[in-house]
Structure 1
């Protein structure tokens, strides 16, 4: 509080402490942006100057403990922000690299998006089966929900031949031709929409050498009069259009090819591919199920200068298949998917339970006739 002024000096009303403090704060805030003071501010300033001339200035006016204490608090704030800045910057960098670290994933970049991203092209046999997928039920809009095939390529995009290189005396362009014909065979036998719906697989048949003893005759018999001994599904993926129909136009595909010098003067190609077919009943409840077919083919583009073969056609040396989710011991030329809402048809499974998506294991050629169950579809 200021002392009472002497009688010979003009008197000034006392200014309350809270007014001093407010004035001090306002002055500190406004020093960086000077402006014309108001009449009230000029009056207060004049009173302060008069009190200063009389030695009556309160602490904190111009200099003093209050201002120094304020400067100290500001310094501590600056030090605190400097200390916090490093971990905050690191945290912001981590979030920028992986936004899913934020709780609730506000940017929508969680593991679901990663799980649905396409897989890179398969260049060799994988070392393990695909990991478990979310237990989602497939629907007409999402026929591959809950399946590892969700990340596989669509149709022909999943058949990517390796780079062609010369093999021994077989030139590069000959190797490229063999790989191209092998892809055409795979597409015609497993992806052609008409063939999958039960039509004759003409595109696939056109790739095979008619001079190969008995091959085309056997395939013709199988397509015309299927039986246990001559069943076309050993080479072609076919569904009975009166029983089921495909869901959409997408068949998921994954696999790879390798090549080497063949035993008939040409280049031999091995193709190992898995195809996933989502289907529904042709007439009945709308329930989506999937049939998974893995095929391993050994073919060769032989040298017509050394062997009695047709130029530009493939010799089919061996074919193996593993079919998941199709009725056992039904040999009518079609695949027959099982639906969870109905009783199984065909004979009871006699083989082991297998994961149809496991491409890391070899097909058991000694037990190719065994029909087992699948651990997932």
Structure 2
């Protein structure tokens, strides 16, 4: 038996029976010419793993390794950013060598043209600030196109003034901008009378006719387009009783500070103020009562708001000094006239641009209409008698008493030293009219 010191001998060189060699190489050693140089090692197709590699592979086959962390290879690239407070981490761009580089901003190509456009717009705005502000108020504001909440007619005197609204310059296109009356009823719809009932010597039907007569008078004297354009209010005069008609008719023929027809009628001089259209905003209330002597008493308190554009002579007339003297060309209206004198030159509304600045005049009127018992008084129960009346005009000249209201326009504004009274809110009809004659400064128009 062979031992380590005596290994098994190689096969003999052809001594086997049959004369064959197991290697098939005759008597030559097949590895005799093999040279184990560097070229032989590099050209090997199978490379034997190292002993440590085989040991670790066998161990990790059943027990995978655990990464202790804190160690990174240079081939791992940059570490992923950590999330802070649950936010998504920003992706970081790396170059082919693993070095971080700043990511390209999206939309960078349009930032420069936008910056140039903003600079040009700023220069244009600085050159014409007023035009830009008018354009924004008329076209750029979505509030002008937003629906305005409708305000129902009142049934009694309110306890507070109307709320303030965002200020805005009124124009022909938007004459109610910045006015709390924008949502008020329009025209006769704003005059609602209470339900009729029998009072004194009058039955329910007679009282209903009297209430309708009061409403018709308010419409004819304050809402008739011919009257507001400067015409004579003949329809309203015809509703008054004979004695009650004398003073209003005289004031129309010879207007003065003591007898000014604007006490009863809303009229504008078409040379300096023209209604934008036939729309008049109205808010107020009517109350039915008895006069204590068998008759009917109707209390009314209404505020009328008129939108006006400048007339052809508005700029010239606004530059004049305040005076009580009649204006040149002013003459009493003919007794039978129902419209403005033909000598007045009025610019058509179609010739006025929509961005022309307008103004508003706010007129509040309170009155007690009385229907006497015909058995006790010489009075027509189907005609109106005005036992008491009072009025206040916001935005009208305090020194001209020619039978018309004369509003001031912002584009022709001038100082008003004649306004010596306290500041008043023309939209506030929660309090009684004080009847003062001082010219007041308005808190809003």
Which of 218, 222, 226 is the matching residue for 1:194?
226
Which of 361, 374, 397 is the matching residue for 1:291?
361
**Residue 374 of structure 1 pairs with residue 439 of structure 2:** no
Shift in CA distance, 190/349, structure 1 to aligned 2, threshold 3 Å: same
Residues in 2 aligned to 1:140 and 1:341: alpha-carbon distance in whole angstroms: 14
Which of 244, 247, 250 is the matching residue for 1:221?
250
Aligned partners of 1:327 and 1:347 also within 8 Å: no
The structure number with the bigger radius of gyration is 2
Query: Which digits, 9 at most, give the CA deviation of each residue in 1:128-164, with x for residues without a partner?
Result: 0111101122111211111011010111010011111
**Residue 162 of structure 1 pairs with residue 194 of structure 2:** yes
Shift in CA distance, 339/122, structure 1 to aligned 2, threshold 3 Å: same
Q: Which residue of 2 aligns with 1:355?
A: 425
TM-score under structure 2 normalisation?
0.56
Q: Give how far 1:347 is off.
A: 6.0
Which of 177, 180, 185 is the matching residue for 1:148?
180
TM-score under structure 1 normalisation?
0.66
Q: Which residue of 2 aligns with 1:242?
A: 271
Residues in 1 aligned to 2:162 and 2:204: alpha-carbon distance in whole angstroms: 34
Residues in 2 aligned to 1:113 and 1:199: alpha-carbon distance in whole angstroms: 34
Q: Give how far 1:111 is off.
A: 9.7
Residues in 2 aligned to 1:295 and 1:149: alpha-carbon distance in whole angstroms: 16
RMSD (CA atoms): 2.1
User: What residue ranges of structure 2 are gaps of 5+ in the alignment?
Assistant: 1-141, 316-355
Q: Give how far 1:251 is off.
A: 0.5
Residues in 2 aligned to 1:320 and 1:114: alpha-carbon distance in whole angstroms: 36
Matches within 5 A, 1:1-377: 116-210=148-242, 212=243, 215-283=244-312, 286-344=356-414, 348-365=418-435, 367=436, 369-377=437-445
Q: Report how many aligned residue pairs link the two structures.
A: 263
Q: Give how far 1:247 is off.
A: 0.6
Q: Which residue of 2 aligns with 1:103?
A: none
Aligned partners of 1:302 and 1:314 also within 8 Å: no
Which stretch shows the higher mean deviation, 135-144 or 232-241?
135-144
Aligned partners of 1:128 and 1:360 also within 8 Å: yes
User: What residue ranges of structure 1 are gaps of 5+ in the alignment?
Assistant: 1-109
Q: Which residue of 2 aligns with 1:56?
A: none
Aligned partners of 1:338 and 1:345 also within 8 Å: no
Aligned partners of 1:244 and 1:282 also within 8 Å: yes
Query: Which digits, 9 at most, give the CA deviation of each residue in 1:197-246, with x for residues without a partner?
Result: 11110111111100x2xx42222221011111110001111100122110
SS of 1:248's partner is strand
Aligned partners of 1:270 and 1:297 also within 8 Å: yes
Residues in 2 aligned to 1:202 and 1:263: alpha-carbon distance in whole angstroms: 32
Residues in 2 aligned to 1:297 and 1:344: alpha-carbon distance in whole angstroms: 34
Shift in CA distance, 263/121, structure 1 to aligned 2, threshold 3 Å: same
Q: Give how far 1:296 is off.
A: 0.1
Shift in CA distance, 145/353, structure 1 to aligned 2, threshold 3 Å: same
Shift in CA distance, 344/230, structure 1 to aligned 2, threshold 3 Å: farther
Shift in CA distance, 206/346, structure 1 to aligned 2, threshold 3 Å: farther
Residues in 2 aligned to 1:341 and 1:112: alpha-carbon distance in whole angstroms: 21
Aligned partners of 2:363 and 2:391 also within 8 Å: yes
Residues in 1 aligned to 2:147 and 2:442: alpha-carbon distance in whole angstroms: 23
Q: Which residue of 2 aligns with 1:79?
A: none
Aligned partners of 2:201 and 2:373 also within 8 Å: no
Shift in CA distance, 344/201, structure 1 to aligned 2, threshold 3 Å: farther
Shift in CA distance, 111/250, structure 1 to aligned 2, threshold 3 Å: closer
Residues in 1 aligned to 2:301 and 2:284: alpha-carbon distance in whole angstroms: 5
